[in-house]
Structure 1
Amino acid sequence: MKKAGIFAVIAASAGLVGAGAVLANSGPGRQGMNMTFEKLDADGNGEITQAEVDGLKAARFAAADANGDGALSLEELQAQGMKKAEQRAAGMLERHDANGDGVLSQDELPKPRRSGHMFERMDADGNGTISKQEFEEARNQMRSNGMGKHRPGQPEVTEPEQN
């Protein structure tokens, strides 16, 4: 049960982080499978205009702006994020609860697409362990590929010391 709680916190955090972006960028292609042509084609004429896309964005913003002041407070963003996280968590439970008991056991959790491959790539000498040097080299390689760029509040990557 603790694992389900941890997942809920992770999902809620992901939803919160994405809430502002979702509200600001709610055009076609941003809403994935939930966005339909019919929803975007507000006047039903068989064509989508920029005005219709802008209208959808404005409506989504207004729905999140609970007090109607024209701005999104932290509380409003959190509420929007929690709503999205709850929807994602419910969907995940529905998709992965193989035995239908209403909870996800560890064996029901989705496996990463390339499970184990990261460890193998980091273990450059193939000895079954990752040294500090292998770890730093892999991290620097990922960052040079645009993954895990430096973010404020995190230490900058430095070159590993050569002994």
Structure 2
Amino acid sequence: MKHTGFISAVVLAAIAVTATPTFAMGPRSGNPVTFEELDADGNGEVSKAEMEAHRTARFDKADTDGDGKLSVDEIQTAAQERAKQMASAMFERRDANQDGFLTEDELPKPQRQGKMFDRIDADGNGSISAEEFANVQDRMEKHRKKRGHGWFDKN
């Protein structure tokens, strides 16, 4: 039962089970949790118990005062730590000459920027109006909620 599709499904399920993107991310530079991290007993399969244990461990790590609840400060601290890890990893990947600085040519080129601009510019006049901008924001918010990224939202 070691099929690529199965492994991908398990990883996706693990991310969904872990409750928030902050807790779903593994310790490396913002990468999702790996199959090996979930397979705690190393038997080549991930059980519901292993997924729950992973979720609990991520929660416990964020619950710095050990009260069994996450405060806004604890969630912000966990998110800031993740952001620091992601920024450090991005810096290491991009600093081609390893001089400790990033120049503009070392940054990723926005490959989709032109296409995105054209999609937002609904009337095709070469500029984005406040209405077009607001429409895109509304669509993005609906998409975000549809994909489950509003877990802490009350709506």
TM range (shorter): 0.5 to 0.7
Instruction: Name the CA distance, whole Å, in 2 between partners of 1:32 and 1:106.
Output: 23
- Name the residue aligned to 1:130: 127
Q: CA deviation at 1:66?
A: 0.9
Instruction: Name the CA distance, whole Å, in 1 between partners of 2:35 and 2:143.
Output: 38
Q: TM-score by structure 1 length? A: 0.60
Q: Deviations over 1:62-112 (max 9, x none)?
A: 111111000112221122111101110011111111222212223322122
- Name the residue aligned to 1:96: 94
2:104 maps to which of 78, 88, 106: 106
Identity %: 46
Q: CA deviation at 1:148?
A: 4.0
Matches within 5 A, 1:1-163: 21-22=20-21, 26=24, 33-121=31-119, 122=121, 124-125=123-124, 129-130=126-127, 132=129, 136-137=131-132, 139-140=134-135, 142=136, 146-149=139-142
CA contact (8 A) 1:65 1:71 kept: yes
SS of the equivalent of 1:93 reads helix
Instruction: Name the CA distance, whole Å, in 2 between partners of 1:103 and 1:114.
Output: 25
Runs of 5+ unmatched residues, structure 1: 1-19, 152-163
Runs of 5+ unmatched residues, structure 2: 1-18, 145-155
Q: CA deviation at 1:115?
A: 2.2
Instruction: Name the CA distance, whole Å, in 1 between partners of 2:92 and 2:55.
Output: 29
Q: Rg larger in 1 or in 2?
A: 1
Letter in 1 for 2:58: R
Compare relative contact order (CA 8 Å, sep 6+) and give the higher one, 1 or 2. Answer: 1
Instruction: Name the CA distance, whole Å, in 1 between partners of 2:49 and 2:142.
Output: 36
Report the RMSD for the aligned CA atoms in angstroms.
Answer: 3.2
- Name the residue aligned to 2:149: none
SS of the equivalent of 1:147 reads helix
CA contact (8 A) 1:64 1:80 kept: yes
- Name the residue aligned to 1:3: none
